[in-house]
Amino acid sequence: MQLQDRINRERLNYITASYALEGNDRDAFQLYLYELLQHYAQGWVELALIEVLVQHWYLPPLPRGIPFLEEVQQVLRQWVQGDRRSTVNDLQFQCITGLVPLVVSQVQVEICER
């Protein structure tokens, strides 16, 4: 595994562990998350995780595990279709996660859509 791949994996692990998003089935959660990363850019997946987290701060309860990732996937699909935009800006992302948001170029988006 490349160094950048390990860093990216640790970023996701940090976000999911910080908010205990995995629920009771860690293996299924990790597999689903990996599948999302095969279809969407890492930066989008991270932002979608935070987007869903913030939505549930307004409308609890916070789902965990697969139901959480299903909502993340729904958000990602809406972004790809152009039906919706993120409500979380870079500063908010950084305050919530403690991480600098990744930049997602239009080229990465087009590759992920294929």
- pLDDT digit string, tens, across residues 12-31: 999 999 999 999 989 999 99
Give the pLDDT confidence of 47-76 residue by residue, as tens digits: 999 999 999 999 999 999 999 999 999 999
Tally of CB atoms within 10 A around 110: 9
Rounded to whole angstroms, the Cα distance separating 62 from 80 reads: 24
* Helix or strand run (H / E) with residue 1: none
Among 18-22, 36-40, 84-88, 105-109, name the one with the lowest average pLDDT: 105-109
Give 113's Cβ-side CA count (13 Å radius): 12
In sequence order, which residues have a C-beta less than 8 Å from that of residue 47 and are 6 or more positions away? Answer: 86, 88, 93, 101
